[in-house]
């Protein structure tokens, strides 16, 4: 199946509070309070000093810039035949050329764009979907909970490849957006489970009871009492979703279920495999794209660890 | 407790029905006509012959029946243990095709998953208590989990296979050999197996290690650990308790992973040209072989549900905290 | 046994500097005495309790000494302290509700704990049963998991475990805070009975609830902002406190039989100073209704009557 597209730090299988910072928020009965100003300031104070967070962020930004600005320098068509075939990296061709004489560096920077796009969009979709289902399921409980649980299980059980192959066979032209949507629609179950578990534990807390007694409507309770306490956790969930989406997209592209136009890092690997770059020793064709993905996703994961330290005082190194 | 399991079982059965139905529907939505593929494979020129063949196949596979009847027939045959006949490898029954490929997939994935789980837990727990180790290897594990699997596989194939020449690249065993219980074959099998195994192991290892490390750290800071320390208990005892408690979520994760393995690792099988279930899926899709696809998907669904159910049972037995929720 | 604490200073290391949680504390606990340690949140009472048995990672023993039964207690050296823990000094922690391993049967956990301290479980088995009877717990509780017990039961179970090896000094940290009133009484009485039956020699009962210690303590010590404010035998402290803080504390307690029609309970306005960079002089100065210029200088903790010590210029002048 696909690579372990579940949370590497274990938050999906059991609601381990490792990734959760259920900070105590001072509330006055009847008045919903989000993180008070001092708490936000404190988070920022630590955020600015956390090496992992800053380092990871810097790396991601560098690649993002490369993806945004790079194509301006390398021209519009990364698939054009511009140079001698199978040339090794040199001053002229930073990453060498493919067996067809295409500029690997141009493909790389264009691929970065695609990667970031899919990562962000898919993460948003899965995140929102997972959170909505998780909150509702955890907060409401009862029959609704059971039904949503079953839906979650079914999506987990469906072989994604099967669905994809059908979709792929139907859509003549596949775009980045449709790939992002499909990934988004597949990756949410672990989020729903984790959010549900967190909601369950928060629901039983006193400040929620107080809010209920004061007559606040359900959505207000969820948004102003429960969600802010999980805000830090949700942030980290997004980061993990982004990383997972990037890896998943790369896998899909590699198998050949990716977008039909343009290029992406996964597609580069696909091409490299297909045209025996491995056997021919054209290492500059397959090492950069894989390395790019590895570095970006690693940076995201390390950012995640940094964020955990920022939000959870116990983890900070004193 | 009986009612709890009864209800769980009921939900699983329901999920099974829905999932299998969806799995049945999906291949039928694929464009392309399986009968036409089969007929064209026969290579007949004569139109009358082609028509006759079409009718024969359509009849044989029941494609002329209304959809709902096909669906019911499917369930009927399923309950009798008949998974249908493959179109791609006609006239072999789907069941035997799958069973032939399963050992290769399981033989690759089972050791990789189990070993990476065990090693990941051991090292993760170790890193949780030795700060020095933690600072050096933790980033490595993060990088391992972040590595796109097929890239790592390609790297290994290139470095150890092509450049160093230690291992062969491609196929589950040499084309010149036949599966048999001979030393020659087994040796050959293992040398073909090693790189796919190593690539799977490395990628999964990082994830388990990170998870275990976090869980153990959390447990070591728990109140019971503090209490034991305050009463002078040696770290040995505290660590033992922490490790055992941290294992629980890892066991759940393991079950989930195991459940999915029956689907095969398609990417592995592509990179290494390894002939397992994943390879079958690709062939089935290319040949529009509905029945083979159905059979494989069924396998996957059953595998996942069974693994989940077993895990639910095991968890209840092993973690006393879950039992309280049931009496409520 | 007797405990003697001299000029104890313990700091918490934080990113912004050292918090002076305990700033020169001197007192002693006599053989067979139950001392109540009272103070508001942040006064340092839990830090004091923790320091005497096991400091957590961020605490540092800066100055001062602790002597138990004439021998030095190496509180700054966690490895050296190990041989005193459980056998000489023991603690019923603040988190007693979650102090037991949730995935282990209680009896099994006790056995493993005791054996890890190189004591054969069989030698304490009978005593364990007797203690369970003493606190009113069914012997079958040893076969259960912590989650099957109620809050009060868990509290009593932890008390039994902590006192199993008859420690000379027992530190009871906020043992009744999470309980309902009737269980509070039961637990408090159980504590006192431990001392009465000589299962424990002396006790320090840490709490913010004066009315609790009034019931069972022989002496009460009041802490404020990392320093001792007053210490006296219980009846004296409650009826004739000399430190303004103590006076306000006692007077803010509601009395049985008196109706406060139209009169609100008065607390003490203000809050304790931050201990990151404590202000010079008496720490209660800003909230004290009796403060005058001399208070800019820290008053010493002196004895004004038999076993009655105060740190206040007004009280000693």
Write the DSSP string, A143-188.
HHHHHHHHHHHHHHHS-HHHHHHHHHHH-SS--HHHHHHHHHHHS-
pLDDT tier for residue B174 given thresholds of 50, 70 and 90: low
Residue of A nearest to B147 (CA): A294
- Length of chain A (residues): 318
Angstrom distance (rounded) from CA C286 to CA C63: 27
pLDDT in tens, C77-94: 889 999 999 999 999 998
Q: Is the pLDDT assigned to residue A23 strictly greater than 50?
A: no
- The DSSP letter of residue A204 is T
> Among B208-212, C122-126, C175-179, which is the least confidently predicted range?
C175-179
* Gap between the terminal Cα atoms of chain A: 42
Angstrom distance (rounded) from CA A84 to CA A93: 10
A183 within 8 A of A122, measured Cβ to Cβ: yes
All domains in chain A, ordered by first residue? 36-76+90-315 (1.10.3720.10)
In chain A, residues with a C-beta closer than 8 Å to the C-beta of B150 are 250-251, 254, 269, 273, 290
Is C56 at the interface with chain A, CB within 8 A? Answer: no
Q: Tell me the HSE value of C263 on the side-chain side, using a 13 A CA sphere.
A: 8
For position A161, what pLDDT does the model report? Answer: 67
Residue A285 is encoded by which pair of tokens?
């064709």
- Which residues does A305 contact at the CB level (< 8 Å), separation at least 6? A52, B142
Q: Is C217 helix (H, G, I), strand (E, B) or coil?
A: coil
Angle at A217 between CA A215 and CA A220, to 5 degrees: 115
Can you spell out the DSSP letters for C125-193? Answer: HHHHHHHHHHHT--GGGGGS-GGGS-HHHHHHHHHHHHTTT--SEEEEESTTTTS-HHHHHHHHHHHHH
Per the DSSP assignment, residues forming a β-bridge with C204 are C35, C171
Residue of A nearest to C57 (CA): A318
Residue of A nearest to B309 (CA): A153
Across residues C243-263, what is the average pLDDT? 75
Secondary element (H or E) of residue B292: helix B290-318
Instruction: Work out the minimum CA distance from A102 to partner chain B, whole angstroms.
Output: 20
Q: Is the pLDDT assigned to residue A26 strictly greater than 70?
A: no
For position A315, what pLDDT does the model report? Answer: 63
Per the DSSP assignment, residues forming a β-bridge with C5 are C27, C66
Exposed e or buried b per residue across C232-247, where buried means at least 16 C-beta atoms within 10 angstroms of its C-beta: bbbebbbeebbbbbbb
- The DSSP letter of residue C273 is P
B57 within 8 A of B40, measured Cβ to Cβ: no
Residue C205 is encoded by which pair of tokens?
């009962």
pLDDT tier for residue A6 given thresholds of 50, 70 and 90: very low
For position B327, what pLDDT does the model report? Answer: 45
Residue C184 is encoded by which pair of tokens?
């509070």
Strands lying side by side in the sheet with C308-310: C89-92, C169-173, C202-207, C34-38, C219-224, C227-233, C308-310, C302-305
Per the DSSP assignment, residues forming a β-bridge with C202 are C169
For position A16, what pLDDT does the model report? Answer: 30
Closest to A62 measured CA to CA, from A295, A218, A281, A251: A295
Residue that has been written with the tokens 């170790």 in this structure: B126
Which of B31, B124, B148 to mutate to test binding with chain A, by most A CBs within 10 Å of its CB? Answer: B148
Instruction: Work out the minimum CA distance from B270 to partner chain A, whole angstroms.
Output: 8
In chain A, residues with a C-beta closer than 8 Å to the C-beta of B287 are none
Residue C153 is encoded by which pair of tokens?
């039961």
In chain A, residues with a C-beta closer than 8 Å to the C-beta of B266 are 1, 161, 255
Secondary element (H or E) of residue C91: strand C89-92
Residue that has been written with the tokens 């996942």 in this structure: B304
pLDDT tier for residue B264 given thresholds of 50, 70 and 90: low
The torsion angles phi and psi of A131, rounded to 5 degrees, stand at: -70, -45
For position A12, what pLDDT does the model report? Answer: 32
Q: Is the pLDDT assigned to residue B316 strictly greater than 90?
A: no
> What average pLDDT does the structure give for chain A?
76
Secondary element (H or E) of residue C302: strand C302-305
Paired sense of beta strands C71-72 and C89-92, if any: unpaired
pLDDT in tens, B47-81: 777 787 777 777 776 777 777 887 887 788 777 77
Of B224, B248, B318, Cβ closest to residue C100: B224
A189 within 8 A of A130, measured Cβ to Cβ: yes
For position A121, what pLDDT does the model report? Answer: 94
A78 within 8 A of A68, measured Cβ to Cβ: no
For position C264, what pLDDT does the model report? Answer: 62
Q: Tell me the HSE value of A196 on the side-chain side, using a 13 A CA sphere.
A: 25
Q: What percent of chain B has pLDDT over 70?
A: 88
For position B208, what pLDDT does the model report? Answer: 92
**Neighbour tally for A295: CB within 10 Å:** 17
* Residue bearing the bigger pLDDT, A182 or B44: A182
Query: Is the bond preceding residue B91 a cis peptide, omega within 30 degrees?
Result: yes
Q: Tell me the HSE value of C62 on the side-chain side, using a 13 A CA sphere.
A: 17
Using a 10 angstrom Cβ sphere, with 0-12 exposed, 13-18 middle and 19 or more buried, the burial of residue B314 is middle
pLDDT tier for residue A95 given thresholds of 50, 70 and 90: confident
pLDDT in tens, B210-220: 989 989 988 99
Q: What is the pTM of this model?
A: 0.80
**Neighbour tally for C281: CB within 10 Å:** 16
pLDDT in tens, C63-80: 999 999 888 999 988 899
Angstrom distance (rounded) from CA C145 to CA C138: 14
- The DSSP letter of residue A226 is I
For position B270, what pLDDT does the model report? Answer: 79
Q: Is the pLDDT assigned to residue B45 strictly greater than 60?
A: yes
Alpha helices in B29-130 (DSSP H): 34-42, 47-61, 67-79, 94-129
Of B19, B29, B151, Cβ closest to residue A290: B151
- The DSSP letter of residue A88 is P
Is B232 at the interface with chain C, CB within 8 A? Answer: yes
For position C94, what pLDDT does the model report? Answer: 84
As a whole number of Å, the CA-based R_g of chain C is: 20
- Compute CA A196 distance to the chain's CA centroid, rounded to the nearest angstrom: 19
Q: Is C14 helix (H, G, I), strand (E, B) or coil?
A: strand
H and E: helices and strands count for chain C:
10, 12
Using a 10 angstrom Cβ sphere, with 0-12 exposed, 13-18 middle and 19 or more buried, the burial of residue A142 is exposed
- The DSSP letter of residue B273 is T
Residue A309 is encoded by which pair of tokens?
């330290």
Angstrom distance (rounded) from CA A16 to CA B9: 26
- Which residues does C12 contact at the CB level (< 8 Å), separation at least 6? C18, C19, C21, C47, C58, C59, C60
Can you spell out the DSSP letters for B151-202? Answer: HHHHHHIIIIIIIS--S--SSSS-TT----S-HHHHHHHHHHHHHHHHHHHH
- Which residues does B309 contact at the CB level (< 8 Å), separation at least 6? B8, B9, B12
Of B224, B228, B324, Cβ closest to residue C98: B224
Across residues A156-172, what is the average pLDDT? 67
Across residues C47-54, what is the average pLDDT? 92
Residue of B nearest to A248 (CA): B148
> Among B59-63, B156-160, C304-308, which is the least confidently predicted range?
B59-63
Per the DSSP assignment, residues forming a β-bridge with C9 are C23, C63
Asked if C58 and A316 come within 8 Å (Cβ–Cβ), the reply is no
> Among A274-283, B44-53, B91-100, C290-299, which is the least confidently predicted range?
B44-53
Residue A191 is encoded by which pair of tokens?
């989020």
For position C259, what pLDDT does the model report? Answer: 65
Q: Tell me the HSE value of B18 on the side-chain side, using a 13 A CA sphere.
A: 17
Which of C103, C146, C157 to mutate to test binding with chain B, by most B CBs within 10 Å of its CB? Answer: C103
- Length of chain C (residues): 317
A22 within 8 A of A28, measured Cβ to Cβ: no
Angstrom distance (rounded) from CA B270 to CA A185: 25
Q: Is the pLDDT assigned to residue C132 strictly greater than 60?
A: yes
Closest to C26 measured CA to CA, from C71, C55, C64, C79: C64
> What average pLDDT does the structure give for chain C?
88
B108 within 8 A of B193, measured Cβ to Cβ: yes
Residue A138 is encoded by which pair of tokens?
């955890």
B85 within 8 A of B93, measured Cβ to Cβ: yes
Instruction: Work out the minimum CA distance from C112 to partner chain B, whole angstroms.
Output: 8
B74 within 8 A of B22, measured Cβ to Cβ: no
Is C112 at the interface with chain B, CB within 8 A? Answer: yes
Residue that has been written with the tokens 């049931």 in this structure: B326
Is C13 at the interface with chain A, CB within 8 A? Answer: yes
Paired sense of beta strands C34-38 and C202-207, if any: parallel
Instruction: Work out the minimum CA distance from B131 to partner chain A, whole angstroms.
Output: 11
- The DSSP letter of residue C287 is G
């Amino acid at each position: 199946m696909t690579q372990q597209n579940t949370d590497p730090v274990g938050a999906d299988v059991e609601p381990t509070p490792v990734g959760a910072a259920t900070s105590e928020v001072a509330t006055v009965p009847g008045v919903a309070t989000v993180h008070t100003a001092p708490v936000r300031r404190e988070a920022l104070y630590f955020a600015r000093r956390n090496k992992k967070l800053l380092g990871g962020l810097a790396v991601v930004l560098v690649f993002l810039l490369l993806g945004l600005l790079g194509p301006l320098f390398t021209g519009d068509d990364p698939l054009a035949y511009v140079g001698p075939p199978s040339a090794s990296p040199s001053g002229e061709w930073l990453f060498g050329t493919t067996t067809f004489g295409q500029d690997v560096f141009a493909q790389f920077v264009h691929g970065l764009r695609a990667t970031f796009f899919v990562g962000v969009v898919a993460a948003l979709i899965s995140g929102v979907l997972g959170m909505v289902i998780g909150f509702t399921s955890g907060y409401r409980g009862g029959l609704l909970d059971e039904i949503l649980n079953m839906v979650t299980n079914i999506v987990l059980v469906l072989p994604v490849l099967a669905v994809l192959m059908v979709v792929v066979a139907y859509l003549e032209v596949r775009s980045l957006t449709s790939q992002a949507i499909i990934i988004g629609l597949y990756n949410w179950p672990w989020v729903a489970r984790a959010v549900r578990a967190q909601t369950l534990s928060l629901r039983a807390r006193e400040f929620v009871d107080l809010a209920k007694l004061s007559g606040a409507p359900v959505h207000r309770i969820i948004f102003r009492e429960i969600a802010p306490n999980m805000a830090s956790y949700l942030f980290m969930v997004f980061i993990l979703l982004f990383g997972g989406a990037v890896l998943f997209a790369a896998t899909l592209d590699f198998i050949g279920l990716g977008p039909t136009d343009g290029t992406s890092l996964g597609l580069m690997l696909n091409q490299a495999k297909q045209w025996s770059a491995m056997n021919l020793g054209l290492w500059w064709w397959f090492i950069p794209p894989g390395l790019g993905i590895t570095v970006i996703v690693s940076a995201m994961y390390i950012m995640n660890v940094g964020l955990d330290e920022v939000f959870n005082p116990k983890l900070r190194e004193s | 407790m009986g009612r709890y399991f009864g209800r769980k079982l009921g939900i699983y059965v329901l999920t099974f029905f829905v999932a299998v139905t969806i799995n049945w529907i999906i291949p039928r939505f694929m464009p392309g006509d399986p009968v036409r593929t089969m007929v064209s494979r026969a290579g007949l020129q004569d139109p009358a012959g082609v028509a006759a063949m079409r009718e024969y196949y359509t009849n044989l596979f029941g494609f002329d029946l209304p959809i709902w009847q096909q669906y019911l027939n499917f369930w009927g045959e399923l309950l009798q243990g008949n998974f249908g006949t493959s179109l791609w490898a006609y006239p072999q029954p789907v069941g035997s095709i799958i069973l032939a490929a399963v050992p290769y997939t399981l033989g690759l994935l089972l050791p990789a998953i189990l070993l990476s789980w065990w090693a990941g837990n051991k090292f993760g727990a170790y890193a949780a208590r030795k700060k020095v180790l933690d600072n050096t290897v933790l980033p490595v594990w993060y990088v391992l989990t972040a590595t796109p699997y097929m890239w790592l596989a390609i790297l290994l194939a290139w470095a150890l296979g092509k450049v160093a020449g230690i291992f062969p690249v491609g196929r589950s065993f040499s084309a010149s050999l036949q599966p048999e219980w001979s030393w020659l074959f087994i040796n050959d099998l293992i040398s073909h197996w090693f790189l796919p195994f190593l690539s799977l192991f490395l990628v999964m290892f990082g994830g388990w290690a990170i998870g275990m490390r976090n869980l153990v750290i959390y447990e070591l800071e728990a109140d019971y650990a503090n209490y034991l320390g305050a009463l002078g208990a040696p770290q040995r005892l505290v660590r033992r308790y922490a490790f055992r408690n941290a294992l629980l979520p890892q066991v759940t994760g393991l079950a989930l992973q195991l459940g999915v393995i029956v689907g095969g690792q398609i990417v592995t099988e592509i990179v290494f040209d390894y002939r397992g279930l994943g390879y079958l899926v690709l062939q089935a899709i290319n040949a529009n072989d509905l029945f083979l696809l159905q059979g494989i998907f069924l396998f996957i669904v059953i595998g996942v549900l069974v693994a989940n159910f077993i895990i639910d049972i095991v968890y209840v037995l092993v973690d006393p905290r879950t039992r309280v929720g049931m009496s409520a | 046994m007797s405990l003697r604490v001299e000029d104890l200073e313990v700091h918490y290391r934080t990113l912004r500097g050292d918090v002076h949680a305990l700033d020169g504390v001197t007192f002693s606990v006599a053989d067979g005495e139950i001392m109540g340690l009272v103070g508001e949140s942040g006064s340092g009472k839990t830090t004091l309790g923790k320091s005497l048995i096991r400091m957590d990672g961020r605490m540092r023993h800066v100055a001062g000494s602790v002597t138990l039964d004439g021998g030095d207690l190496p509180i700054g050296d966690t490895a050296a302290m190990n041989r005193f823990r459980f056998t000489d000094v023991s603690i019923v922690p603040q988190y007693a509700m979650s102090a037991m391993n949730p995935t282990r049967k209680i009896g099994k956990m006790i056995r493993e704990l005791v054996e890890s301290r190189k004591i054969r479980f069989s030698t304490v088995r009978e005593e364990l049963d007797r203690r369970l009877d003493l606190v009113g717990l069914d012997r079958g509780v040893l076969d259960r998991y912590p989650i099957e017990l109620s809050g009060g039961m868990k509290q009593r179970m932890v008390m039994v475990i902590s006192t199993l090896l008859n420690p000379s000094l027992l530190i009871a940290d906020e043992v009744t805070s999470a309980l309902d009133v009737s269980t509070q009484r039961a637990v408090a009485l159980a504590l006192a009975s431990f001392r009465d039956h000589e299962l424990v020699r002396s006790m320090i009962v840490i709490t913010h609830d004066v009315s609790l210690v009034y019931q069972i303590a022989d002496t009460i010590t009041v802490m404020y902002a990392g320093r001792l404010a007053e210490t006296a035998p219980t009846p004296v402290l409650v009826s004739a406190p000399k430190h303004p803080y103590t006076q306000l504390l006692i007077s803010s307690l509601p009395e049985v039989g008196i109706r406060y029609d139209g009169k609100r309970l008065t607390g003490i306005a203000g809050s304790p100073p931050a201990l990151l960079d404590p202000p010079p002089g008496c720490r209660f100065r800003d909230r004290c209704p009796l403060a005058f210029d001399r208070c800019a200088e820290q008053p010493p903790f002196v004895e004004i009557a038999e076993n009655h010590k105060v740190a206040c210029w007004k009280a000693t002048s």
